[in-house]
Structure 1
Amino acid sequence: MLVATMPPHRHAQGQPSARPAGLRRVVQRLLTVVAAVAVGAGMLAAPAYAAPSPEEIEAAIDKQWEQLEPTIEEYNKVRAQLKVDRKKSAELGKKIQPLALETEMAMNRVSDLATRHYITGPSRDLGALLVSTKPGNLAEQLTYLDRLAASERKQVEGVLAVRRKYDSEKQKLDATIAAEAKKEKELAAKKTQINAEIKRLQASMPKTTVSVAGCPTVNGVVSSAARKAIQTACAQVGKPYVWGADGPSSFDCSGLTQYAYKAAGIYLTHHTGAQWNEGRAVSRSEARPGDLVFFFSDLHHVGLYLGGNLMVHAPRTGKPVQTQNINYMPVAGFRRPG
């Protein structure tokens, strides 16, 4: 039909025909349409991106949590050390109080002695004492009084020396406390940021099932203390993770291990790094139920080992206390408290 519409006359030799030019334009338009259809068909045929699976979301959150937990444990460390140092400062304060009173009393005795002798003369008691020593003259009396005063001064100097020692220690301790309090304040400010990040993470967290596999265990427990710690930790399964918490209604990782061993009569600091140093090192092959298992090179996570590559721990926000295989995080080592 397109050919019928073309003009019937011929062009001069050497000039291009209008017929081929017209065909080329039509073909180009058709190719454009075909290409567009082909592209559209390809787009329709492309598979849509699937929504992330719960496992993928969990893995992503776990990865983000690795960045948050070291700050949480640093906050625990500062709080624990601040508690210890404030207790030391209070104890030093109690020691200084009687020293201050003793110093004041000794100084008063020296002053009273000087006043009685140089202003009103020796008292009757002191006169009797001097007579009993049978001093030969006033010079000997004065020498004796000087010796008494020197003895009092020596006592005062001794008390003052001890007091200066305690004052110096307290000043250093107070400076340390001030620095730690400042750091605690800075970390508390970070807490607001961390909580905001936790809230954001919680919005995408899938519901998790709480695992109780192997909890509590009865085989291979190394001591009665370890058995009590395991029983106590396993009794907390299902309770929520709250960072900085050490029970009884919520826990973070080092708070749970501290709580478990406290029930067994063993005190651990509420900080993973401190707990690493508060137990005896054991190899992985020697690890037994009740040992503490630590993770990551900076030791920012800890759990209570149950044996068979299982542990009970407080994982992170959104995941309550539960049992889990230890191999899902890089194991740094094992420690045995007590």
Structure 2
Amino acid sequence: METHLRWTRRPNRLARLLVATLGGLSLALGVTGLAHADPTPGEIEKQIDAKWNTIEPVIEQHNQLKLELAANKTKQKQLEDQIAPLKAQVDAAFDKVSAFAVMQYKNGRVSKLDAMLTTGSPDTFIDQMTMLNMVAKDEQDRIKDVLVAKQQYDAQKGPLDELIAKQAEQEAALNQQETQINADIKNLQDMRLQAYGSGNGTGSLKPVACPQQYDGSPGSRAAQFGCQQIGKKYVWATEGPNTFDCSGLTMWSWKQVGVTYLRHYTMWQYQDTKRVSRADLKAGDLVFFYPDKHHVGLYVGNGWMVHAPNPSQPVQMKKIDSEPISGYGRVA
């Protein structure tokens, strides 16, 4: 019940949040998104960062709401499962009494005098009435107990049904807001890549813009930190800031955005991350190579990664398909 009370007070606050956020987005797009004729990649990245700071609370609120809604739907299903047999018992008890009455009185609800006249004997009528009253009393007691239990479950389910309806509306509103902000970020990302132009790289080490995907999320910022290390030397067993090995680079890049649980060993990092598919890859995900997973790179989008290859080559960008992939990992 406390959850119900808490959520019933949220719709107005949520509505204000949606209006303020969407209004802020429109203002940001109108003033800073398209006002500059030739925004630099850095300027666009600042706009993306601002939008990410707007969407991140929405995403977290959405995550919380989805969990609470799922939990409440589970409770609703449990109550429905408990109510269904009680309703069946009530119906069966009423049917039993009704059937017995029909059998005794033919039409179910005639007067006792009419019933007596049809029996042919007052003694027979008395016996029939006594039996009917005993059966009815027994069934009435059963019905009463079942009805009390059903009413208790109904009393719990009613407010829960109302809460689920409100949460479903809130989820739809949050989903719409999330969709809109993500669309804004995508538009800015397209502008960002266009601003880099075709000759934006630094030779073979950075042939294209790095990262290729940037939405202001921790993953894309970790990828950005990794990209900034391009050109630095590979030194075995080091983890920055001046030299790196492969797992040292991924570990250091994520540490810059506050993630400290990645360990300095490729197989450990595989264990430290959540499995994702190639279709779901995002900037900041880890890509593992070879059956023994002895190499790892930091995904930066569009099939590219930044990695520390070996002592003969510095940190650089490379297509992930250039080496045999053995798995993907997401830093939660």
In which range does the TM-score fall when normalised by the shorter chain? 0.3 to 0.5
Q: Normalized against structure 2, the TM-score is what?
A: 0.42
- The structure that has the greater radius of gyration is 1
Question: Hey, which of these two has a bigger chunk of helix by percent?
Answer: 2
